[in-house]
Chains A and B, each alone.
Chain A
Amino acid sequence: MVQKKICLLGAFAVGKTSLVMRYVNSIFGEKYHTTVGVKIDKKQLVSNGQDITLMIWDLAGQDDLTRLRTSYLRGVAGYVIVADGTRPFSLNTAINMHKEAREYTGDVPFIVAINKADLREEQWQVEAEQIKALEDDGAIIVLTSAKTGEGVEETFQLLTQQMLKSELAPLDNTEIK
Chain B
Amino acid sequence: MADGITDLHKGMVTPNNDMSIRETDLETLRRLLLGPEYQSILNKTEILDNPVLLGQLITPAIHEALKLNTTNNNLQKTLTPTVVGALMDSVSNDPKPIADALYPVMGPAIRKSISSTMDQMTQNFNQLLEQSVSPKALQWRFDAWRTGRSYAEVAMIKNLVFQVEQVFLIHRETGLLLQHVLADAAISKDPDMVSGMLTAIQDFTSDSFSVEQNSGLNSLKLGDLTVLIENGPHAVLAAVVRGSVPNDMREVLSETVEKVHSREHKKLIHYKGDSSSFDHLRPLLSGCLKTQLVSNKNETAKKDKPKKNKLFKYGIYLGLLMLVSAFMYSHYHSGLEQEEWSNIQKLFRSEPGLVVTSSRHENGKYYIDGLADPLAKKPSLLINHGTQKNIEVELAFRPYLSLDSDIILRRIQESFNIPDSVKLSLNDQKLYLVGKSTRSWLKEFESEVIKISGVKSLDTSKVNIVSSN
Q: A residues within 8 Å of B by Cβ?
A: 1-5, 25-28, 32, 36-38, 40-42, 53, 55, 57, 69, 71-72, 74-77, 167
Contact = CB atoms under 8 A, between A and B. Distances in A.
Contact of A5 (B176, B201, B204): B176
A71 B201 CA distance: 11
A57 B193 contact: no
Nearest to B201: A36
Contacts of A69: 203-204, 207
B41 interface: no
Nearest to B270: A175
Contacts of A71: 203, 206-207
B204 A55 contact: no
B193 A2 contact: no
Interface string B191-207: 01110110011011011
B231 to A, nearest CB: 14
A53 B196 contact: no
Given A5-B175, A72-B200, A42 B272 contact: no
B55 interface: no
Contacts of A32: 197
27 contacts: A1-B274, A3-B274, A3-B275, A5-B175, A5-B273, A26-B193, A27-B194, A28-B193, A28-B197, A36-B204, A37-B204, A38-B204, A40-B175, A40-B197, A41-B193, A55-B175, A55-B196, A57-B200, A71-B203, A71-B206, A71-B207, A74-B174, A74-B175, A75-B171, A75-B173, A75-B175, A76-B174
B342 interface: no
A116 B193 CA distance: 28
A5 B174 contact: yes
A77 B273 CA distance: 9
A32 B196 CA distance: 13
A25 B196 contact: no
Contacts of A38: 200, 204
Interface of B: 171, 173-177, 189-190, 192-194, 196-197, 200-201, 203-204, 206-207, 272-276
Residue picked from A3, A41, A42, A72, most chain B C-beta under 10 Å: A3
Given A3-B177, A36-B204, A37-B204, A55 B192 contact: yes
Contacts of A57: 175, 196, 200
Nearest to A175: B270
B203 A55 contact: no
Contacts of B206: 71
A24 B234 CA distance: 28
B192 A36 contact: no
Contacts of B272: 2, 167
Given A27-B189, A36-B204, A42-B190, A2 B273 contact: yes
A71 to B, nearest CB: 4
B274 A2 contact: yes
Given A5-B176, A27-B194, A69-B204, 16 more contacts: A1-B275, A2-B273, A3-B176, A3-B274, A3-B275, A28-B193, A28-B197, A32-B197, A36-B200, A36-B201, A40-B196, A55-B193, A72-B203, A74-B173, A75-B174, A77-B273
Residue picked from B189, B201, B203, most chain A C-beta under 10 Å: B203
A72 to B, nearest CB: 6
A131 B174 CA distance: 31
In order of increasing CB-CB distance, the 6 nearest A-B pairs are A75-B174, A75-B173, A40-B196, A71-B203, A5-B174, A3-B273
Contacts of B276: 1
